Structure 1
Amino acid sequence: MATIVMERIGRVFISLQQIREVPRMLTDAAPSMPGTIRDTEVPYYFRERYVCTGYRPLYQNWRYYFLSLFQRHNETINIWTHLLAFLVILVRLQQLAETVDFVGDPHSWPLLILILSSLTYSAFSAAAHLLGGKSELCHYTFFFLDYVGVAQYQYGSAVVHFYYAVDESLHRHVHGIFMPAATVLSCLSCLGCCYGKYFNHSLPTWVRKVCQVVPSTVAFFWDSSPVVQLRWFGHLVRMPPGRLPREVFQARPAGRRPRGRPRTRWRDYISNLAWERLGIPQSELVNVAREREVWGPLLELLPPRPDTG
């Protein structure tokens, strides 16, 4: 019995010795990774304001930059956030493909465009932050691709909002200009970001911010305009008493109404829109909109606009 116990203790001791050797074995198997350097050791176009250390050395082989995925440096968080987003979206696409016919159902194509644009955007961004530190050419090439990914993601968002969430009355007025305008704004957003990036350290800060932020902001408001009225209504009913927008919304003018057909109030328009698109009756609309946790997901899951074709 004692012999058996001693043998088992010896095996455990050997196993612990082998486990202790694992870090050394991994170090020997992996190539030596150069450490990070300070901002004074990299060219000016690599430097980020207020980031003084954590830069990777330039002109290393491609293997080093791919392996730096597992190294701690100034781009680690940027790389992993975009990479994890890419994997999550890819898994979600696989799940949707089991229930949605993306090939045979044209009504699902806007959703497919959004998913593919999201995959492209996250992949380009991960590549830019992972490989953009190799050289000046790689830096600008990969980050310009990143901005292309952002622009086509903006376009994909516009497609989904227009074909799934736009109201019928709004659709009649903007169907000829909405998508062309979204295309132009996406291109301007890409060009503005590229221009600001290339002249990052030669332009005043406010000029660079205007070039990068203004086109993207205009594109955001234009692309989300099909659902902005419902979002504003939810914000309006959640305002505390005394706020001017809420008081105007709840006001009931006194006096006699002129003869003729009553004008459609914005409240009536929103009530009809919520009933047609969300199935919420007028009597429950305000109570539902007050619940931010309920109202937000409802707008994200707006059913497709009926085909008037």
Structure 2
Amino acid sequence: MQTISPLTHGEQTIAVSLRGEMNDLGSLNSGSDDTGYRGSISYIDQFADDTIGVALGYARMVSPNQEERWQAWGYPTNDAGDSVLGGAKPFVRSSELERDGVLAVFEYAPNEQFTSVVDVYYTKFTDDQRLRGIEIPAAWGANGGVTASTTENGLVTEGTIIGAEVVVRNDVNKRDADSISIGWNNKYTINDNWSVEADIAMSKVDRTDIGMETYSGTGRGTGVGAVDDLGFAYNGDGGYDFTHNLDYSDPDVIKLGDPLGWGSPLCAKHPGRLYQQTRN
């Protein structure tokens, strides 16, 4: 990164900027935002008969992001030879990136031969991501399979998933990072052909990553809890709209566990998987 030279800039300067942003999908997850902003302020000046220069800057960004996700497990063929939805993962993802950055440049040039510059840059950011949705076994996994009511061009566009064991999934991913870089450059020009330069630099990064996945359903293990008959209809945008009978927001119906037995015996006892990494 090449920082500005306040002595070469040659004049006092103060600059301020501010702008906002908005996501037109709205706040898809509770606790998330759909508006953010970016702002910065900088100051450049010269002192002591233009032998000392200073440049200071600060920037802050709060940037939210909202996503609607659709993932199909595939489209196997049924007994009639038509393609049918094998399973689905409709999710919504909300994230917010918050970052602060500080820059300082100190330049000293007592004569035309010698220049000394100290650069300091510090940044801190937090990236918080929330992913929530459901995983729906259909032709691959539903107890009663899939019945077709409408078929178009060899694709089952409407029907019912019989005896589905739906998995409610919540993911949290968070990253905190701090970094600092310091450089000290000294240059002495002997003549038009020779110069001597000494450069010392140091940089350091501390980062912590946290990721957690939780799975919930009507029972712990496949074939244990209540099942649901889900109606589905192709919406023309590459995904499907679903109707359901169970109340997936009722904590008496949906409980934390390993509803389809995807985990190992250890995960069945501790279905929420949590990991943390710290790097220096």
**TM-score, normalization: structure 1?**
0.25
Structure having the larger proportion of residues in helix: 1
- TM-score normalised over the length of structure 2: 0.26
- Higher strand proportion (structure 1 or 2): 2
